[in-house]
């Protein structure tokens, strides 16, 4: 076996995730983060696109900052399955040797990253909230919450390559899309066999019903334990209704059974980055803050002036939500009606 030194690994890669040709927006967010890392290292930024009939996404990857896209198209890579995707990605890494490989912390990305890191014998830092380059060592500093979110740890992968990290959707900002930006396309053939796929997709059944996409919402009206009861959610629903927003919840509100788990914002819930986030009756525990503190505007309503949520709030309203929320709803309703008149 030939040993490859770490110095022979060069470049930053981002896995461009797609399902049935639909790209996961986290891929573009990671190209934004990857661009900064690549510039700090003075290397190229590449996207890796695996699938069948997905070449249309190459120009999107260029537009979001990739200098180069490695494209592997093969019928075996049609529907996502761990074994062929992992095989293709491992082979690409072994052939082209990137020093950094980033994936979205989606269900697909979590599955794939673990399989790839294991096969390559390298480290993987999951759910990073910060990525930087140490200029002295050129190592990737991978920051993430640990010990229940009470401590932020910066993790290094010193001995093995590539340095692999996953980042949740909406943790990194979406970079501006540069229409018409061109890059290089490298089509790679990898001999994949259907019988090595280990699983067969018989049928894809789309989930019906009201799927909520909290991570894409522009306005979130979130409630916590301070609401006191499920009935009081009605006030938040009215506010959300007037503003065209989506409800959200702290873990305490979810555990009380007031809203289902898919509404939970925070470390063990969804990470969000809306234009406006209302935190109502939410104290601002660190595990909640890590999921919403990158919102553009944060409006906190809490009767305790010492509540930590006020430290991250753009606007803080000290008071009982039962008085404040209906007053806000009424005022927004009035302003919006005046504007449309």
Q: Is 287 annotated as a binding residue?
A: yes
Rg (CA), the chain: 22
Q: Is 70 helix (H, G, I), strand (E, B) or coil?
A: strand
Sign of the CA dihedral running 51, 54, 59, 64: negative
Q: Work out whether 313 is an interface residue with ligand FAD (CB under 6 A).
A: no
Q: Work out whether 225 is an interface residue with ligand FAD (CB under 6 A).
A: yes
Work out how close the CB of 140 gets to ligand FAD at its nearest, in angstroms, rounded to a whole number: 25
Residues whose CB is less than 8 angstroms from the CB of residue 340 and which lie 6 or more positions away in sequence, other chains included: none
Q: Work out whether 267 is an interface residue with ligand FAD (CB under 6 A).
A: yes
For residues 78 and 101, what is the distance between their CA atoms, to the nearest angstrom? 22
For residues 273 and 292, what is the distance between their CA atoms, to the nearest angstrom? 6
Q: Work out whether 129 is an interface residue with ligand FAD (CB under 6 A).
A: no
Q: Which stretch binds ligand FAD (CB under 6 A): 82-90, 163-171, 239-247, 281-289?
A: 281-289
Nearer to ligand FAD, 161 or 288 (CB): 288
With contacts defined by CB under 6 A, how many residues of the chain interact with ligand FAD?
30
**Cβ neighbours, 10 Å, residue 209:** 5
Q: Which stretch binds ligand FAD (CB under 6 A): 4-12, 28-36, 95-103, 246-254?
A: 246-254
Q: Is 283 annotated as a binding residue?
A: yes
Contact 278, 324 (CB under 8 A): no
Give the residue, chosen from 171, 281, 300, 329, that forms a contact with ligand FAD under the rule CB under 6 A. Answer: 281
Q: Work out whether 148 is an interface residue with ligand FAD (CB under 6 A).
A: yes
Main-chain dihedrals φ then ψ at residue 73, nearest 5 degrees: -115, 130
Q: Work out whether 250 is an interface residue with ligand FAD (CB under 6 A).
A: yes
Q: Work out whether 253 is an interface residue with ligand FAD (CB under 6 A).
A: yes
Q: Work out whether 181 is an interface residue with ligand FAD (CB under 6 A).
A: no
Q: Work out whether 285 is an interface residue with ligand FAD (CB under 6 A).
A: yes
Of 159, 165, 212, 170, the closest CA to residue 5 belongs to 159
Work out how close the CB of 228 gets to ligand FAD at its nearest, in angstroms, rounded to a whole number: 6
User: Which pair of tokens denotes residue 298?
Assistant: 């944060």
Work out how close the CB of 284 gets to ligand FAD at its nearest, in angstroms, rounded to a whole number: 7
User: Which pair of tokens denotes residue 19?
Assistant: 């399902």
């Amino acid at each position: 076996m030939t040993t490859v030194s770490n110095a022979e690994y060069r470049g930053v890669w981002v896995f461009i995730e797609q399902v049935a040709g639909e790209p996961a927006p986290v891929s573009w967010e990671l190209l934004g983060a990857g661009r900064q890392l690549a510039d700090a290292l003075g290397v190229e930024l590449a996207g890796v696109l695996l699938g069948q009939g997905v070449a249309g996404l190459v120009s999107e990857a260029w537009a979001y900052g990739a200098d180069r896209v490695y494209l592997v198209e093969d019928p075996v890579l049609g529907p996502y399955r761990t074994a062929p995707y992992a095989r293709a990605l491992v082979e690409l890494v072994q052939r082209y040797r990137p020093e950094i490989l980033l994936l979205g912390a989606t269900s697909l990305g979590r599955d794939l990253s673990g399989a790839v890191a294991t096969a390559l014998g390298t480290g993987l830092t999951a759910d990073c909230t910060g990525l930087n380059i140490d200029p002295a060592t050129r190592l990737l500093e991978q920051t993430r919450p640990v010990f229940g979110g009470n401590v932020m740890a910066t993790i290094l992968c010193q001995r093995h390559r590539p340095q692999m990290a996953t980042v949740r959707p909406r943790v990194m900002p979406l970079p501006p899309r540069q229409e018409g930006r061109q890059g290089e396309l490298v089509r790679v053939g990898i001999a994949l066999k259907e019988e090595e796929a280990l699983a067969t997709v018989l049928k894809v059944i789309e989930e019906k019903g009201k799927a909520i996409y909290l991570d894409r919402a522009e306005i979130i009206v979130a409630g916590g334990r301070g609401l006191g009861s499920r009935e009081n959610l009605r006030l938040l629903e009215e506010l959300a209704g007037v503003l065209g927003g989506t409800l959200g919840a702290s873990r305490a509100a979810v555990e009380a059974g007031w809203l289902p788990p898919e509404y939970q914002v925070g470390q063990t819930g969804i990470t969000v980055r809306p234009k406006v986030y209302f935190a109502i009756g939410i104290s601002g525990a660190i595990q909640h803050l890590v999921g919403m503190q990158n919102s553009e505007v944060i409006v906190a309503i809490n009767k305790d002036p010492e509540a930590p949520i006020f430290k991250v709030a753009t606007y803080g309203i000290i008071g009982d939500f039962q008085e404040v929320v209906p007053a806000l709803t009424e005022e927004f309703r009035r302003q919006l009606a005046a504007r449309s008149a």
